[in-house]
Chain A
């Protein structure tokens, strides 16, 4: 890791009102996600937390990983946190920059996408993600009511594609029961197994040859897809969160039999995240939705 003097870090903590050992939810999520990146991985990351986590992984678990951003960036050495997958900051000292068709085609399609990192609005028990709509899909011109969906989200972007091609998908999401239903209203991205194999509803039954392994990093816990059934199961809960908290906020009968507690972020991880990844706290300074809601009460 790049050397950061202790004095510089101390001054930073003081200026920002932070502590060496305490961390925010966003910091915890970034650390938890970064730990899932194996060294040497090819990581497709979207903006926000995924980018934060994959940059942290470069400084911690995976110094030899290759970061890929779908707008055309392969293998950058980033100095300033990008806010977009096309941010010129993301292109710095890249192995190559080209175009979107090329990035997906030459890497993801050919099996180079070891890890894909995504967000989403809804996640179902088989790891299907919805980042498109809630409350009806059809827009006003064809819905019959004159108005469109109750809530419109950004849509797939590259999420569908990353989910289709990645060997392993990491999803970072706020966990609430309504966001974790058995089945999502609209499948934007097939990020996990998709459905039961015995009913021929799996990703492979629909022709997706790669992937199937999903790690859900919510703001309460980490879930993993069972390799046999494809159903998400509780793997670890965060310090201060109970298994019951997780169960209440999950819309399906969650298997909690293997649950353990997360090793909290280390001082070294927090230091790298704060000093090297996002020193301006563009993302780290944001409150998670749960924190914001708690504060509003």
Chain B
């Protein structure tokens, strides 16, 4: 087996690898650790703000529930979870159109930056089964830039959707 019989070629390769590893360690040691694992902010999606209702109330659940809209809110850069952030959620569901006030509700993230909204089943509207989520600087603590999302479900029969917010400090 070649591994047990080191030739000139394998010795060269091993030396090269060792030099490479040393170089990598040296370079990364010279950078800020936070930069090395930088988390990019989530951009606003096209159409994300459609039928948004600024200041929709914080609710236990939207309507009768049955569909789980879950997600996380983190800070761009270091990726730190953000507690107590207000996220508004709305969609065309079995209980109403997107523009209906009762299709909207807001919730706050917990200590781990996680949110979860129980809402009616999302059904395809305007050609796609999709939801809307917003982090609005005007109705939050104002520390981050506003983001509107419009995630599309993989299948219309999905009963949950997981969404990630990475907010850019304002």
Physical interaction between A and B? no
